[in-house]
Amino acid sequence: MSTLTLYTTDSCTVTGYRTATFDEIMTAARQALNQKVRRGTGLTSPRVTRDFLIARLAELPYEVFTLIYLDNHCRFIAAQDLFRGTIDSATVHPREVVKEALKHNAAKVILAHVHPSGIAEPSKADEYITDRVKQALALVDIKVLDHIIVAGGETMSFAERGMI
């Protein structure tokens, strides 16, 4: 098994660099993905979407429900953490989801949330809220493309499982 060591600059060391900490690596990854995924970027690749969500949500110790707003051509408008919960639940209000999607002038959205437990399997509550949000957004002609659960470095896609 090979190991990978990443370094960061440090003017306080003799060499001018040192081994990067986990937090520094994650911060750099988030910054790189935020530069790669910004307004106008086409989110046509599930891998880019997953990487973006993993970097954004994977290390959170509590549930967060996030929306990615897209235009008609699946170009990124914004990502927003709408609801924050506890270690095992977050209350999601479809009315607020619709209000925010309209505010961003979204034509399509991707729902996402984190499971701090590390288990990416959807619960019955996850399935229920996905259907409720999908129905609410359909009333204003906004399409839900996917609901992605992030659990550590793994994800589960409702769309890939035929659940949307």
Q: Is there a single domain that holds both residue 54 and residue 109?
A: yes
Q: Is there a single domain that holds both residue 123 and residue 61?
A: yes
Q: Side chain identity at 64, as an amino acid letter?
A: V
Taking alpha carbons only, the member of 25, 28, 50, 3 closest to residue 152 is: 50
Helix (H/G/I), strand (E/B), else coil: 119: coil
In the prediction, which pLDDT does 106 show? 97
Report pLDDT digits (tens) over 15-58: 878 888 877 776 676 666 555 555 556 666 778 888 889 988 88
Taking alpha carbons only, the member of 75, 81, 70, 152 closest to residue 112 is: 81
- The number of domains in the chain is 2
**Cβ(55)–Cβ(154) below 8 Å:** no
Instruction: Quote the domain boundaries for residue 16.
Output: 1-36
Give the number of other CB atoms < 10 A from CB of residue 88: 11
Q: Is there a single domain that holds both residue 50 and residue 130?
A: yes
Q: Is there a single domain that holds both residue 122 and residue 85?
A: yes
Q: Which structure tokens are listed for 39?
A: 């307004």
Q: Is there a single domain that holds both residue 63 and residue 129?
A: yes
In the prediction, which pLDDT does 8 show? 80
pTM: 0.77
**Cβ(110)–Cβ(43) below 8 Å:** yes
Q: Tens-digit pLDDT profile for the chain (164 aa)?
A: 557 787 787 788 888 788 888 777 766 766 665 555 555 566 667 788 888 899 888 888 999 999 999 999 989 999 999 998 777 778 899 999 999 999 999 999 999 999 999 999 999 999 999 999 999 999 999 999 999 999 988 999 999 999 98
Q: Is there a single domain that holds both residue 73 and residue 86?
A: yes
Q: Is there a single domain that holds both residue 135 and residue 101?
A: yes
Q: Is there a single domain that holds both residue 52 and residue 1?
A: no
String of b and e for 18-48 (b: at least 16 CB within 10 Å)?
eebeeeeeeeeeeeebeeebeeebebeeeeb
Q: Which structure tokens are listed for 121?
A: 């399997």
